[in-house]
Amino acid sequence: MTDTIILHHYEASPYAEKIRLMFGLTNAHWHSLLSPVQPPRPSLDPLTGGYRRIPVAQLGADIFCDTAIIAREVAMATRCQALDPTRVDPASAVLMKQAEQETFFAAIGAVKPLRLLGTMIRQFGPIGTYRFAKDRAGLLKGGTARPPKGSQSQAVLDSLVTALEIKLSGQLWVGGDAASVADFAIYHPLWLYVSCNRRPLKAGIHVIDWYHRVSEIGHGRREEITQDVAFSLARNSEPRSLPDSVQNKTVKIGGLVEVAPSDYGVLPVTGNLAAMTEERIIIARKTTEFGNLNVHFPREGYTLAPK
């Protein structure tokens, strides 16, 4: 059971949908642990040390933050190289970056305010909507993300859809003949837009057909678990062996550090730097509840500083 990935997520999370589709592509068995849409998240916060964003993946006493890292873990666990973001071709990588950065925020801004309000009330209720809006308003404070506003949001969304239509005019999938992480990374902000807008996506025939193909992949073999199960696995496991580290002049292995996203949700996680490779930062957290936990972050898009 310790070899089965636990995904801490909530149903309406677009980034979680990106990972759930990866499980679907590989027909993987995975454990689902649902969390609240906003903090506090009692089943997750003690494991991460306060990491603000979601989803988070867990394998025993190893905790993986950010879908860039989670995707690599899913690729390794399922032996599916197509899910490894580092293996995406350059042209597809450009579309992925466009989708996951400015288009992600534009997907919300492109929805008419009253329709967006109606969607949130349906999902969260009036009080939940107020809390959700208040939480998300504070999510951007201190970060580098600058969401587009007004009509600019629709233009950003249309730009991605147009580029995607051209890309798919001669092939079924973003990367060619088979689905890959590029498809899911580009799909998830469009899924967010469709979910919030409660209307079918307006796009060219190639994009529409592709959108349906992706949505039909499903989520693999999902099994719900409880907080007690996830906590027990963390408590009764040891972190896996650490990779070799690259040299860094600013921080030393073993030193107390803070790691935080640089774009939004910039609350830092504190721990001792356990390892740092070309693509990830691993900090060790000694906890009274679980013992030793290793928390993994991508290097790209995250800050690392001595505490």
Domain contains 56: yes
Do residues 202 and 102 both lie within one domain? yes
Whether the per-residue pLDDT at 81 is higher than 70: the answer is yes
Q: In the prediction, which pLDDT does 136 show?
A: 86
| pLDDT above 70 (res 199) | yes
Domain for residue 203, yes or no? yes
**Domain boundary residue, one of 153, 187, 215:** 215
Reply yes or no on whether the pLDDT at 203 is more than 90.
yes
pLDDT surpasses 60 at 179:
yes
Angle at 149 between CA 146 and CA 155, to 5 degrees: 105
- Specify the pTM: 0.96
State whether 37 and 128 are in the same domain. no
pLDDT-derived band at 190, boundaries 50, 70, 90? very high
Environment class of residue 74 by beta-carbon count within 10 Å: exposed (0-12), middle (13-18) or buried (19+)? buried
Q: What are phi and psi of 183, to 5 degrees?
A: -65, -45
* pLDDT tops 90 at residue 247: no
Of 188, 215, 242, the position where a domain reaches its end is 215
For a pLDDT cut of 70, what percent of the chain falls above it? 99
CATH code for the domain in which residue 201 is found = 1.20.1050.10
Q: How confident is the model at residue 26 (pLDDT cuts 50, 70, 90)?
A: very high
Q: Is residue 236 part of a domain?
A: yes
Average pLDDT over residues 176-181: 97
With cut-offs at 50, 70 and 90, classify the pLDDT of residue 3. confident
**How many CA atoms lie within 13 Å of 174's alpha carbon, on the beta-carbon side?**
27
What are the pLDDT digits (tens) for 250-289? 899 999 999 999 999 999 999 999 999 999 999 999 999 9
Q: Is residue 1 part of a domain?
A: no
Which element (helix H / strand E) includes 69?
A: helix 67-78
If asked whether residues 93 and 211 sit together in one domain, one would say yes
Q: Give a yes or no: residue 249 inside a domain.
A: yes
Domain count across the chain: 2
Cβ–Cβ under 8 Å, residues 242 and 283:
no
Whether residue 257 lies inside any domain: the answer is yes
Residues 149 and 69 in one domain: no
Residues 210 and 94 in one domain: yes
- In this predicted structure, what is the pLDDT of residue 2? 59
The pLDDT, as a whole number, for residue 294 is 98
How large is the average pLDDT for residues 108-128?
Answer: 94
Q: Which domain holds residue 55?
A: 6-82+222-306
Question: CB 217: neighbour CB atoms within 10 A?
Answer: 19
In a domain, 17, yes or no: yes
Residues 105 and 207 in one domain: yes
Query: What mean pLDDT comes out for the span 167-183?
Result: 97
d(CA 81, CA 100): 20
Output the CA–CA distances (angstroms, integers) from residue 129 to 121, 150, 156, in the order listed. Answer: 6, 21, 26
**pLDDT of 153:** 96
Per-residue pLDDT tens over the stretch 135-158: 888 888 899 998 898 789 999 999
1 pLDDT more than 90: no
284/243 same-domain check: yes
Domain end among 165, 198, 215: 215
Is there a domain that residue 289 lies in?
yes
pLDDT at residue 27 tops 60:
yes
Residues 268 and 299 in one domain: yes
Q: Specify whether 75 is located in the same domain as 104.
A: no
Q: Are residues 72 and 115 in the same domain?
A: no
Is the per-residue pLDDT at 296 higher than 70? Answer: yes
Looking at the chain, the whole-number percentage of residues with pLDDT higher than 90 is: 91
**153 lies in the same domain as 195:** yes
Same domain? 204 vs 108: yes
| Mean pLDDT across 56-71 | 98
pLDDT of 114 reads 95
User: Residues 128-132: what's their mean pLDDT?
Assistant: 90
